[in-house]
């Protein structure tokens, strides 16, 4: 049996500048990876932490995606941003903290963009599926469901990557299933084995945060791969014939 192929969704936690995004765009284009991700609206635990570049950031993601012919992925947090973002961003991400924001989900049911819905921090499998129905029943069937780890007592990883959720999703829905390795693990040393495990469980896309200078990143500095580290990951996944 030949291994299942996956697609990669790659980019920094947050857009910080045009130059930063341009470096990521270039590497994606080199490897023929289609999906460029970055957050411009950042749902940070502390209001004092960097909140993202907002509209200006969305413009940068849009520009770089256009330049390299990539599809863009970025988080939407507020219904008031839908009109602006729907024409600039191809795939609108609903973050973990907003999985229960049914007002937002209903409104996203009315757009044509693909919606990447992340599992809530402590959401059950059923709650996750039902949240996706808020988008679907309002008319948008272009949905990707993303497992990004759940809260458990375990502290060795940022969250606990629930791969049984991935296998179960593949049994009950026909949507694409994404595994966000960066936010699940919160560390980069076990991305490769967990990527292989996610593929075995049925993931269709893998999301990984990559930053040109992770040590200087304004958010999630410890979990982002450098471009060199990303190239090594890419080449190992390619060797395994997953890409
Ligand atoms: C993100 O993808 O940038 C993010 C904040 O992730 P999550 O919503 O899964 O915490
Ligand atoms: Mn992040």
Model confidence at 3, in pLDDT bands (50, 70, 90)? confident
Give this complex's ipTM: 0.99
Of 206, 212, 234, 149, the C-alpha closest to 183 is 149
Give me the number of domains the chain comprises.
1
Q: Is residue 149 over pLDDT 80?
A: yes
- Alpha helix stretches (DSSP H) within 97-243: 102-108, 125-136, 163-172, 181-185, 191-201, 227-239
* Residue 1 resides in a domain: no
Helix (H) or strand (E) holding 71: strand 71-75
* Residue 81 resides in a domain: yes
Model confidence at 241, in pLDDT bands (50, 70, 90)? very high
> DSSP assignment of 168-209, as one string?
HHHHH--SEEEEEHHHHHSSSTTHHHHHHHHHHHT-SEEEEE
Ligand 1: list residues with CB < 6 Å: 13, 39, 43, 75, 95-97, 118, 148, 180, 183
Q: What is the mean pLDDT of residues 201-225?
A: 98
Q: In CATH, what number is assigned to the domain containing residue 54?
A: 3.20.20.70
What percent of the chain stands above pLDDT 70? 100
Q: What is the mean pLDDT of residues 7-33?
A: 98
* Residue 219 resides in a domain: yes
* Residue 153 resides in a domain: yes
- What is residue 59's predicted lDDT score, i.e. its pLDDT? 98
- What is residue 232's predicted lDDT score, i.e. its pLDDT? 98
> Which tokens is 175 given?
């949507």
Question: Do residues 24 and 15 touch, judged by C-beta distance below 8 A?
Answer: no
Range of the domain at 75: 7-239
> Which tokens is 235 given?
């080449």
- What is residue 144's predicted lDDT score, i.e. its pLDDT? 98
Q: Is residue 63 over pLDDT 80?
A: yes
* Residue 204 resides in a domain: yes
- What is residue 124's predicted lDDT score, i.e. its pLDDT? 98
The preferred substitution site among 95, 115, 121, 122 for testing ligand 1, maximizing ligand atoms within 8 Å of CB, is: 95
* Residue 227 resides in a domain: yes
- The CA 41 to ligand 2 mean position distance, Å, reads 11
Q: What is the mean pLDDT of residues 8-25?
A: 98
* Residue 2 resides in a domain: no
Question: Do residues 119 and 96 touch, judged by C-beta distance below 8 A?
Answer: yes
């Amino acid at each position: 049996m030949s291994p299942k192929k996956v697609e990669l969704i790659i980019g920094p936690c947050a857009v910080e500048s045009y130059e930063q995004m341009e470096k990521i765009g270039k590497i994606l284009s080199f490897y023929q990876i289609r999906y460029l991700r970055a957050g411009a609206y950042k749902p940070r635990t502390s209001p004092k932490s960097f909140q993202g570049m907002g509209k200006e950031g969305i413009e940068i993601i849009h520009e770089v995606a256009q330049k390299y012919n990539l599809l863009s992925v970025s988080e939407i947090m507020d219904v008031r941003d839908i009109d602006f973002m729907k024409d600039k961003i191809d795939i609108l991400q609903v973050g973990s903290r907003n999985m229960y924001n049914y007002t937002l989900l209903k409104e996203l049911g009315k757009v044509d963009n693909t919606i990447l819905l992340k599992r809530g921090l402590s959401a059950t499998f059923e709650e996750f599926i039902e949240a996706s129905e808020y988008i679907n029943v309002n008319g948008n069937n272009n949905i990707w469901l993303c497992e990004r780890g759940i809260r458990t007592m375990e502290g060795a990883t940022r969250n606990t990557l629930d791969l049984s959720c991935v296998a179960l999703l593949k049994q009950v829905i026909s949507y694409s299933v994404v595994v966000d390795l960066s936010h699940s693990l919160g560390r980069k040393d076990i991305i490769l084995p967990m990527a292989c495990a996610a593929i075995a469980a049925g993931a269709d896309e893998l999301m990984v945060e990559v930053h040109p200078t992770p040590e200087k990143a304004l958010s999630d500095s410890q979990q982002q791969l450098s471009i060199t580290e990303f190239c090594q990951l890419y080449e190992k996944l390619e060797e395994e014939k997953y890409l």
